[in-house]
Structure 1
């Protein structure tokens, strides 16, 4: 056994082989120090390593112009650990950004110099405008069609950004960090008055009134985590978690009615966020006095993702993040990476009534429809479902994610029988459920007909008439037809409430 281990070519070690495709981002925030190592396609890099330490560099911002000495010591220890890990991973590309606490503190430049000396890191201290811009770009990287107001609540500041048409508009940075305000001796009325005075100075907020509000920052994400846990929402993923305005206001009022003891004892509230949760809720409540958004949508992407996104060329930025992630997954786990586009083109006539959103989901499902081929047949449906339903996809909401996962489940199982899809079924109405099933049955038929290979489907047609589904196959491919193909065509037609037939054509 030892000989086998020793004979391995260390040059093929995965760490060495993939380090050139990895980027490390170290975020020196006012509350936390975080390292995220990204790997994968430039449009949708996936976190390979993600760790944070709550240091509280900005804990004294409201009372002092200096960074807290104890917090600096803790932050330096975290940065030294992160430097060691990044070097050990063989990562050459390291982005280090410091935000409000370091930017504002009198000893911030001294602390940066110490970091650069001790850790050999090049630290970029972001201006307020830069911080806001990167936060907005982070949201656009994961929600390219975002249109409204982005709010990034950090420990030391609040960044507000107007986004729309894939672009950044107005930006503002306000000294309203959750950690900063929580440690200031404001009464409730004084805090509200102070918040209003700050928001009144943002002269462009009326431009985003009534539009969606996109939430960034751990203090505000804690509200979403609490709501997900309390309501038993079936998908514990923050990204693209959407709540209507009225529901968020009920949530805020509930949080503000808690005593400090209630918050500390509540099992749905993170202990690390207990001290700032009510302040964060108050900031959002008062901001909404000026904007009254249509929906509140929580984003897992923020400044760190924005830093990466800012370096991409415009054509790359416009690539659909969902479809790119699906293609990447299919390339790694499917048999033929491009087969999904063939399948989508083949079934598009039968689903021609879909709008752009529905077509996008259908293409995503088709792309992912072969990712479980290596699994034991009895486990393919649930494994594919879980892989898709819980994947860190961007550019898709919870309902859309459920539809894709259900469709691929049905592609393998032929129905929604089993416990695996229950969480996704809870997120969709009957119409969406029926659509996901019919889409899955069409995928199932496509793989039976083609054997999961390329080049066959483009020579056949799936034709949808008012009351009939027709499978048209050229004579030289008629040998592919059989009981299984006929049964799966019948299942699709039955789901759509139509009859079915097979037509053999003679190609010249």
Structure 2
């Protein structure tokens, strides 16, 4: 049975709606995403009351969200409100009014729960063991210290990009004295938390400020991959962005490539909060998470339904399996090909001078090598390559995801020129191309060994002898079609292994 779940996150600065589709086999996919700027915390600083104009903007947005939920025929709406409503003296009245006018019941979550949801969203989509997560919103900043993929400390600080912008008057161009005053305030707030000092762990950013930092850096560097999640930059790159933003007027910031015009008036506060966190933690890099509270809410629902742990043991395996099922791949064939390819890797790794980390790329490519059939059977390896390049795969760097895409597309003998003339050439050096070719060869052999998709070749042993590369096939019955298919790989094997292929059969 399929299901559609709507997640609504009403924040202090913006409101978000996502719709997740759960397929019959349990795979899930994002099918709709909408963001609206509501500035719900605007004008709250003095009275701690949500202002009529802000309430009007929020209600108008929620009415649109309710209409979209009807159009998408969602089965369940999970809605939350965060810092602005949480801190407002008239927050309860707003929640009642929102339900009356839109039919949407929002749960006002605590800062601690907001931090936990951000943790669930980020740690299930970024392959890090330790780190400091920050979710920088309009009215609050949630901090979560992670050790061994578990929460060790967390806190919700009562300030964010909107509230500090209003408090210090940062909307337009500001002088050095105002920046110094802002930084002194941030440093004092962070210094009261001893567990932040010199963690030396990566700083993981959730929220619009973090995403915009990544987009600005990508534009400055002409980054060729349009993906923000798991994008990483060092302190020097961040300081370049900070200086650029701190010294520009509002009009100039609105023209800054990569920066959303809706965020231009609050970005000074945002980047200076990040600067304070980088300084106190001495983090070696800033990692951007495109997943946070909304994804945490969905995963919390999904994992409870399917009886899965809140933090996945292997996010790459989970996300790859999810992509496979979402594209109606055959799990039996895909996992058999992956098993054969991994066995070939183990047997010939030393001779091919492959790195241990290459094995996971081969497995991803093997599991997803046929998903392009959903577009068109003809040239489906190229279609598979494109889908892998753009899939929501978690646990790979951007470069690794590109490599996996190349391996899957190249394994059927597609010309390397096709890939070298595309985005891939911006990421991969000559060493990467050599590795990709060898891994594509292993995948090609594995696919030949199950070309009938009957599983006749149960397993294989790959050996190197003095004058031959030996494949020992363990068969349940004769497999003449598989044997014939292997002949297509003879030249490839001889070129990359430097040896002729010798086949032995063992019936089991």
For the superposition of Structure 1 and Structure 2, which TM-score range results when normalised by the shorter chain? 0.7 to 0.9
Whole-Å Cα distance in 2 between the matches of residues 505 and 445 of structure 1?
16
Question: 2:342 aligns to what?
Answer: 348
Displacement of 1:463 = 3.4
Displacement of 1:468 = 4.7
Question: 1:202 aligns to what?
Answer: 193
Q: Counterpart of 1:168 in 2: which secondary structure? A: strand
Taking a change above 3 Å as real, the CA distance of residues 492 and 262 of structure 1, as seen in their structure-2 partners, is farther
Question: 2:323 aligns to what?
Answer: 329
In the superposition, the TM-score normalised over structure 2's length comes to 0.88
Taking a change above 3 Å as real, the CA distance of residues 471 and 283 of structure 1, as seen in their structure-2 partners, is same
Question: Does structure 1 residue 385 correspond to structure 2 residue 376?
Answer: no
Displacement of 1:35 = 0.9
Deviates more, 1:127-136 or 1:372-381: 372-381
Taking a change above 3 Å as real, the CA distance of residues 343 and 327 of structure 1, as seen in their structure-2 partners, is same
Displacement of 1:234 = 1.5
1:84 to 56, 67, 70: 67
How far does the alpha carbon of each residue in 1:169-190 deviate from its partner, in whole angstroms, 9 at most, with x for none?
A: 2001112311111122352221
Taking a change above 3 Å as real, the CA distance of residues 375 and 138 of structure 1, as seen in their structure-2 partners, is closer
Taking a change above 3 Å as real, the CA distance of residues 290 and 390 of structure 1, as seen in their structure-2 partners, is same
Q: How does 1:100-115 map to 2 (within 5 A)?
A: 100-115=83-98
Q: Counterpart of 1:338 in 2: which secondary structure? A: helix
1:47 to 10, 13, 30: 30
Q: Counterpart of 1:112 in 2: which secondary structure? A: helix
Question: 1:34 aligns to what?
Answer: 16
Question: 2:292 aligns to what?
Answer: 302
Aligned positions, number: 488
How far does the alpha carbon of each residue in 1:219-268 deviate from its partner, in whole angstroms, 9 at most, with x for none?
A: 22101011112322111111111123333233323333333332122243
Question: 2:109 aligns to what?
Answer: 126
1:271 to 261, 265, 274: 261
Question: 1:185 aligns to what?
Answer: 168
Question: 1:243 aligns to what?
Answer: 233
Whole-Å Cα distance in 1 between the matches of residues 26 and 432 of structure 2?
29
Whole-Å Cα distance in 2 between the matches of residues 224 and 140 of structure 1?
19
Question: 2:279 aligns to what?
Answer: 289
Displacement of 1:72 = 1.0
Q: CA RMSD in A?
A: 2.7
Q: Counterpart of 1:349 in 2: which secondary structure? A: helix
Q: Counterpart of 2:458 in 1: which secondary structure? A: helix
Kept after mapping to 2: 8 A contact 1:24/1:91: yes
**5+ residue gaps in structure 1?**
1-16
Question: 1:491 aligns to what?
Answer: 492
How far does the alpha carbon of each residue in 1:48-91 deviate from its partner, in whole angstroms, 9 at most, with x for none?
A: 11101101001223344111211211111111121232234332
In the superposition, the TM-score normalised over structure 1's length comes to 0.88
Whole-Å Cα distance in 2 between the matches of residues 112 and 46 of structure 1?
29
Question: 2:243 aligns to what?
Answer: 253
Whole-Å Cα distance in 1 between the matches of residues 493 and 284 of structure 2?
38
